[in-house]
C-alpha cells in the first residue's frame, strides 16, 4: 500500500505538471528601448507573440523596476498596444505603430501620471546583450511576493486624491483668471467604484471651472459674474443639468452627454 506521503507527492506532480508546461516561453530576442531623462523599457515577447514581459525603469512611480506580464492587443492593421493590469483596470502602457510604407516601427510609452506619451528609441547593443532569462526570473520572484497583484488592485483613496489634486489645480487656475475664489466640491460618496475607475472625475467635474477660466480670460466683463458664482457643486446624474442655487452653481454631469464644455460655456455666458 502506498503511503500517504507518496500519494500526495504523486498528486502534486500530476497537478503541477500542466502548470509547468504552461510556463511562459519567451522569444529568442528581447528589445531594449530608452527614452528621455533616463527612461528605459525592456520588452521580452513570448514565443507566440501574444504576450510579453515588460519592465520600465528610470521613473518616479511604484511600477519602476517591476516586471509585468502584458497582453498584446491589436488596434487595427498597423497599431498594437501592450496592456497590463494597474489600479483596477487594463492599462495600455506601450504602443507600437508600424509604418504603412516601410519596416519601421515607432514605440511610445504612456507612463502613469503623465498626459503625453514618451517616445522610445530602440537600442540594438543593449538588446543583444540583455538576457531574457533574468527578466523572467525577476518576474517570478515578484509574482510570488505579490508585487504585481498589489499594483493591479484598485486603490480608491489614491485615485480619489489624484482627482482632488487635479480639481484643486483647475480651481486655482480659474481663480487666478477671474480674480475671485473658485471652488469645486464633489459628492465623492455618491460616485461608485465603476465610475471612479472608468471616468476622469476631475475632467468631468472641473468643466465649470475650466469654462469660467476661459470666459474670464476672453471676456473681462464676466469677472463680475464670476465673483458671485465661485462655488460649484458637482454630481453625476441621468442627464446634463446646470442651475444656480443661493449663488452656487449646481452642476449635474453625465458620462455620455456630448459637448459638455459648450453647454457649460453657454450657460455661464447667460448668467
Structure confidence at residue 11 (pLDDT): 35
Report how far apart, in Å, the C-alpha atoms of 60 and of each of 39, 63, 88, 111, 209 are.
10, 8, 20, 10, 30
pLDDT at 103 over 70: yes
Contact present, 59 and 148 (Cβ < 8 Å):
no
Q: What is the pLDDT of residues 59-90, one digit of tens each?
A: 999 999 999 999 999 988 788 999 999 988 89
The closest alpha carbon to 153, from 87, 197, 198, belongs to 87
User: Nearest 5 degrees, angle CA 124-CA 27-CA 40?
Assistant: 40
- Residue identified by cell 469645486 is 184
pLDDT at 138 over 50: yes
Residue 198 pLDDT grade (very low, low, confident, very high; cuts 50, 70, 90): confident
Report strand pairing: 51-57 vs 40-45.
Answer: antiparallel
Structure confidence at residue 191 (pLDDT): 94
Cell readout for 173 is 487656475
Q: Cα-atom radius of gyration of the chain, to the nearest Å? A: 25
Measured between its terminal Cα atoms, the distance across the chain in Å is: 90
The closest alpha carbon to 132, from 21, 40, 52, 62, belongs to 52
- 3-state SS class at 33: strand
Residue 7 pLDDT grade (very low, low, confident, very high; cuts 50, 70, 90): very low
Poorest-pLDDT segment among 41-50, 103-112, 217-226:
103-112
Q: Please, what's the b/e burial string for 174-202 (b: 16 or more CB within 10 A of its CB; e: otherwise)? A: bbebbebebbbebeeeebeeeebeebebb
pLDDT at 171 over 70: yes
User: Nearest 5 degrees, angle CA 157-CA 242-CA 198?
Assistant: 35
Work out the mean pLDDT of the chain and round it to a whole number: 88
Residue 257 pLDDT grade (very low, low, confident, very high; cuts 50, 70, 90): confident
Q: State the pTM of this model.
A: 0.64
pLDDT at 207 over 60: yes
Q: Once rounded to an integer, what is the mean pLDDT over residues 24-40?
A: 95
CA distance 86 to 63: 9
Amino acid at each position: 500500500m502506498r503511503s500517504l506521503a507518496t500519494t500526495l507527492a504523486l498528486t502534486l506532480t500530476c497537478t503541477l505538471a500542466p502548470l509547468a508546461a504552461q510556463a511562459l516561453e519567451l522569444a529568442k530576442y528581447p528589445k531594449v528601448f530608452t527614452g528621455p531623462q533616463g527612461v528605459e523599457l525592456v520588452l521580452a515577447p513570448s514565443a507566440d507573440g501574444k504576450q510579453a514581459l515588460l519592465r520600465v525603469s528610470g521613473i518616479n512611480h511604484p511600477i519602476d523596476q517591476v516586471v509585468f506580464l502584458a497582453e498584446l492587443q491589436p488596434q487595427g492593421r498597423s497599431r498594437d498596444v501592450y496592456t497590463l493590469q494597474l489600479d483596477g483596470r487594463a492599462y495600455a502602457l506601450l504602443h507600437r505603430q508600424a509604418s504603412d510604407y516601410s519596416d519601421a516601427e515607432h514605440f511610445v510609452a504612456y507612463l502613469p501620471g503623465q498626459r503625453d506619451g514618451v517616445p522610445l528609441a530602440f537600442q540594438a547593443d543593449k538588446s543583444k546583450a540583455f538576457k531574457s532569462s533574468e527578466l523572467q526570473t525577476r518576474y517570478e520572484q515578484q509574482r510570488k511576493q505579490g508585487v504585481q497583484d498589489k499594483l493591479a488592485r484598485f486603490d480608491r483613496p489614491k485615485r480619489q486624491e489624484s482627482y482632488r489634486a487635479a480639481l484643486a489645480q483647475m480651481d486655482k487656475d480659474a481663480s487666478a483668471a477671474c480674480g475671485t475664489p473658485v471652488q469645486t466640491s464633489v459628492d465623492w460618496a455618491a460616485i461608485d467604484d465603476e465610475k471612479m475607475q472608468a471616468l476622469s472625475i476631475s475632467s468631468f467635474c472641473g468643466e465649470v471651472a475650466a469654462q469660467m477660466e476661459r470666459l474670464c480670460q476672453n471676456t473681462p466683463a464676466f469677472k463680475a459674474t464670476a465673483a458671485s458664482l465661485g462655488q460649484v457643486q458637482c454630481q453625476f446624474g441621468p442627464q446634463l443639468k446646470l442651475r444656480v442655487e443661493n449663488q452656487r452653481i449646481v452642476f449635474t454631469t453625465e458620462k455620455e452627454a456630448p459637448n459638455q464644455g459648450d453647454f457649460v460655456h453657454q450657460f455661464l455666458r447667460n448668467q
